């Protein structure tokens, strides 16, 4: 107690904040140090296994940069006769070039070179995805790049190992590229129509910079046939709801697979989409197939069930964990709390306490009338903007992402600027007063959020690059639409609800679903059978308003400390944006 009195309450907060910031720095140093240790262990593992790993970066015809990794035995790399059997590995939707390390290892130990390519719109590769429109031709350029730059690679008889979306790319690539010799595809996205039957995304994405109409994209059903397809193994899980077994069966029939030995379909009973890719037996089928065409022709591909019994996978003791990433996350949280403790107590609260006391509610009869008109006008503008957006996008681009999640918030934000509360004579007076009173707190509260966020992204990407893991591509021009999707709705709803009485803000739970229904009346979005059909569709519409309302409530609660609601919206939404950019691919 004596110590606390000696320090003083104000200084105590400052010292706690400094201690947290110092702890953040220490954790970051520990994280980076551990990342170097783990990165060294990973590199040593490949060195001890005599495997060389090299990053590649190839510029496509439209300027998009495609990233990849090459894995090859060091002794075989010295070969300059273009004789090393080479596999082009194509990941699925949301995949990364680092995702299939365990499977890549099996093939490299068998004597293959493996090139794992990160498709456009994924991870470190540039551009949004074109959903099969450009990707096959991208891979043709990748093959050209390998042929020109790597003398060990047998690019005249290339193998393809494709998964899901990558399988769809591979199914097209093998039909148009003569240098492809043998192919293994796990539940390939061979039919756009088959995908849109279970996940009708046509009006979700609409027309993008890469896609005019998803239904017009040529898929494997349009391009592949029994004449231009050979040496193909299809492996399908019977419990797959992403790529239904019937779609793969139809593709197999299109290629006349039942009458050919060099085209086989293996149905894996009970396996789901992800389960099929990681299942040991499924992996062995792929290995047996490619070993037959490149290493041991005595393997009978018409009796794969027997042949895989002779295959044993290599033990893979790759050192891998998320300790460094977890330490960076913890350090960013410590930094945020430390900055909050110091800045709120020393800057924001003293400034706020010196502001003139402002009237929160005008209880006069005239004030109540003004308040009522404000709610009516804002709600009319909120729903009117949805109607205008819906009409425009029903004519020019039937896209829920562009229309409802980007254009609609922009239009609503503009409209909401001109509807002041009952406490202000006009919108100019409101914003002049708001800027005068809130600019200082806005700058400080935003700095409390932005500094730890930038800190986190920079050091997270640093440790993941050191540890051979995938980064968060947030600071890229392609990320801007997703940042706005995450923040636009929050800004729109903040402007709509500003200075509304607490209980009246619940109106958002009603008007938000109504705005979505208005938009969907003009730009219909069919239920996704993949996600549960009509029930999930209804829940999505209803919960949109509920979730955003409680985000607003949380932001309002936090603003009691930070004195700025908008900054709190940013604080709440940024983790969702970062998570999306970490996990998902980019399509707009």
Q: Above pLDDT 90, what percent of the chain?
A: 64
pLDDT above 70 for 250: yes
User: Residue 542: what pLDDT?
Assistant: 87
> Which among 110, 111, 168, 113 has a CA at the least distance from the CA of 139?
168
Q: Where are the alpha helices (DSSP H) in 121-269?
A: 135-149, 165-176, 192-198, 202-205, 220-223, 245-254
Give residue 292's pLDDT.
97
Q: In whole angstroms, what separates CA 318 from the centre of its chain?
A: 26
* pLDDT per position as a tens digit, 570-585: 888 888 888 888 888 8
Do residues 251 and 356 share a domain? no
Asked if the model's pLDDT at residue 17 lies above 90, the reply is: yes
pLDDT band at 233 (very low <50, low <70, confident <90, very high): very high
Residue 13 lies in a domain: no
293/359 same-domain check: no
Mean pLDDT of 302-325: 95
CB contact burial 258-276 (16+ within 10 A = b; e otherwise): eeeebbbbbebeebbbeeb
The total of structural domains in the chain comes to 2
**According to the model, what pLDDT value does residue 8 have?**
59
Residue 562 · residue 568 · CB < 8 Å: yes
Q: What's the angle, vertex CA 291, arms to CA 106 and CA 73, rounded to 5? A: 45
Q: Which helix (H) or strand (E) holds 21?
A: helix 9-48
Report whether 405 contacts 456 (CB < 8 A): no
> Are 291 and 332 in the same domain?
no
Q: Mark whether 376 and 296 lie in a shared domain.
A: no
Which of 310, 339, 374 delimits the end of a domain?
310
Mean pLDDT for 444-471 is 93
Is residue 469 in some structural domain? yes
The model's pTM: 0.91
Element (H, E) at 517: helix 508-522
Q: Which CATH number is 287's domain given?
A: 3.40.50.1820
Q: Are residues 327 and 292 in the same domain?
A: no
Instruction: Tell me what pLDDT residue 6 has.
Output: 54
CA distance 110 to 413: 59
Q: Specify whether the CB–CB gap between 88 and 139 falls below 8 A.
A: yes
Q: Are 109 and 84 in contact (CB under 8 A)?
A: no
Is the distance from CB of 35 to CB of 467 less than 8 angstroms? yes
Residues 224 and 362 occupy one common structural domain: no
The pLDDT of residue 280 is 97
pLDDT higher than threshold 80 for residue 2: no
Residue 117 DSSP label = E
| Percentage of the chain lying above the pLDDT 70 cut | 97
Residues 348 and 371 in one domain: yes
User: Of 506 and 284, which is predicted with more confidence?
Assistant: 284
pLDDT at 360: 56
Instruction: Quote the pLDDT of residue 410.
Output: 95
Does a structural domain hold residue 36? Answer: no
**419 and 556 share one domain:** yes
Q: Which residues pair with 185 in a beta bridge?
A: 162, 234
Q: How high is the pLDDT of residue 108? A: 97
Please state the rounded mean pLDDT for residues 163-185: 97
The tokens for 62 are 């439209």
In a domain, 44, yes or no: no
pLDDT attached to residue 428: 83
Antiparallel, parallel or unpaired: β 153-163 and 263-268: unpaired
For residue 185, the enclosing domain spans: 49-310
pLDDT of 520 higher than 90? yes
Instruction: State whether residue 361 is helix, strand or coil.
Output: coil
* pLDDT tens string 467-497: 988 888 877 888 888 888 888 888 899 889 8
Task: Calculate the CA 198 to chain-centre distance.
Answer: 20
Residue 42 domain-assigned (yes or no): no
- Residue 337 forms part of a structural domain: yes
Residue tagged 């029903």 (tokens): 394
On average, the pLDDT of the chain sits at 91
CB 15 within 8 A of CB 7: yes
Ranking 91-95, 359-363, 425-429, 558-562 by mean pLDDT, the lowest is: 359-363
| Rg over CA atoms, the chain | 28
| Residue 479: predicted pLDDT | 83
Average pLDDT over residues 278-298: 97
331 and 412 share a domain?
Answer: yes
Q: Which of 310, 341, 374 is the last residue of a domain?
A: 310
In the sheet with 153-163, reading across from the earlier edge strand, the strands are 51-59, 65-73, 113-118, 84-90, 153-163, 180-186, 232-237, 263-268
Query: 128-132, 317-321, 531-535: which has the minimum mean pLDDT?
Result: 531-535
Shared-domain flag, residues 336 and 437: yes
Domain finish residue from 310, 331, 356: 310
Contact predicate 199/528, CB 8 Å: yes
At 98-109, the pLDDT tens digits run 989 999 999 999
The answer on 250 and 348 residing in a single domain is no
Residue 15 lies in a domain: no
Same domain, 271 and 360: no
Q: Is residue 22 part of a domain?
A: no
Residue 7 — pLDDT band, cuts 50, 70, 90?
Answer: low
pLDDT band at 556 (very low <50, low <70, confident <90, very high): confident
Axis crossing angle, helix 480-497 with helix 408-416, rounded to the nearest 10: 30
Q: What is the DSSP letter of 348?
A: I
- Decide: 487 and 577 in contact? Cβ < 8 Å: yes
> What is the rounded CA–CA span in Å between residue 428 and residue 417?
9
Rounded average pLDDT over 406-433 = 85
Per-residue pLDDT, 563: 82
Contact 52, 73 (CB under 8 A): yes
């Amino acid at each position: 107690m004596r110590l606390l009195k000696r320090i003083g309450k104000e200084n105590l907060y400052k010292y706690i904040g400094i201690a947290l910031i110092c702890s953040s720095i220490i954790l970051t140093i520990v994280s980076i140090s551990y990342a170097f240790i783990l990165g060294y262990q990973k590199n040593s593992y490949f060195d001890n296994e005599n495997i060389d790993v090299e990053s590649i970066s190839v510029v496509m015809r439209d300027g998009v940069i495609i990233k990849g990794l090459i894995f090859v035995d060091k002794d075989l790399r010295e070969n300059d006769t273009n004789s090393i059997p080479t596999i082009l590995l194509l990941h699925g939707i949301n995949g990364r070039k680092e995702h299939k390390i365990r499977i890549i290892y099996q093939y490299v130990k068998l004597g293959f070179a493996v090139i794992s390519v990160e498709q456009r719109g994924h991870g470190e590769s540039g551009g949004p995805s074109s959903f099969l429109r450009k990707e096959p031709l991208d891979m043709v350029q990748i093959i050209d790049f390998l042929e020109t730059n790597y003398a060990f690679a047998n690019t005249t008889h290339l193998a393809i190992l494709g998964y899901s979306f990558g399988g769809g790319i591979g199914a097209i690539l093998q039909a148009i590229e003569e240098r492809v010799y043998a192919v293994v595809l796990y539940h390939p996205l061979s039919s756009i129509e088959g995908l849109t039957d279970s996940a009708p995304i046509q009006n979700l994405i609409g027309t993008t910079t890469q896609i005019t109409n998803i239904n017009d994209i040529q898929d494997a059903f349009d391009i592949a046939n029994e004449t231009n397809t050979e040496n193909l193994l299809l492996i399908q899980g019977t419990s797959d709801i992403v790529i239904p077994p019937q779609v793969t069966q139809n593709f197999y029939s299109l290629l006349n697979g039942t009458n050919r030995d060099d085209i086989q379909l293996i149905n894996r009973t009970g396996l789901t989409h992800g389960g099929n890719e990681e299942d040991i037996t499924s992996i062995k089928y792929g290995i047996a197939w490619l070993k037959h065409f490149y290493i041991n022709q005595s393997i009978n591909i018409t009796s794969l069930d027997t042949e895989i019994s002779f295959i044993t996978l290599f033990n893979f003791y790759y050192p891998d964990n998320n300790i460094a990433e977890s330490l960076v996350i913890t350090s960013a949280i410590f930094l945020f709390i430390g900055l909050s403790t110091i800045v709120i107590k020393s800057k924001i609260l003293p400034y706020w306490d010196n502001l003139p006391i402002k009237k929160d509610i005008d209880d006069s009869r005239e004030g109540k009338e003004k308040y009522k008109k404000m709610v009516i006008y804002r709600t009319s503008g909120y729903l009117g903007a949805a109607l205008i957006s819906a009409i425009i996008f029903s004519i020019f681009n039937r896209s829920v992402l562009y229309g409802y999640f980007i254009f609609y918030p922009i239009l609503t934000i503009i409209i909401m600027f001109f509807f002041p509360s009952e406490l202000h004579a006009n919108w100019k007076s409101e914003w002049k007063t708001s800027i005068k009173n809130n600019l200082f707190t806005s700058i400080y509260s935003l700095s409390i959020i932005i500094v730890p966020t930038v800190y986190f992204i920079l050091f997270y990407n640093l440790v993941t690059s050191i540890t051979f893991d995938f980064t968060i591509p947030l600071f890229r021009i392609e990320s801007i639409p997703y940042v706005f999707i995450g923040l636009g709705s929050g800004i729109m709803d903040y402007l709509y609800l500003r200075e509304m009485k607490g209980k009246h803000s619940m109106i958002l739970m009603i008007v938000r679903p109504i705005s979505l229904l208005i938009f969907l009346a003009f730009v219909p979005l069919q239920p996704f059978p993949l996600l549960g059909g009509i029930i999930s569709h209804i829940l999505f519409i209803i919960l949109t308003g509920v979730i955003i309302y409680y985000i607003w409530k949380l932001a309002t609660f936090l603003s009691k400390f930070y004195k700025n609601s908008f900054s709190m919206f940013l604080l709440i939404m940024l983790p969702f944006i970062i998570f999306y950019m970490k996990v998902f691919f980019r399509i707009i």
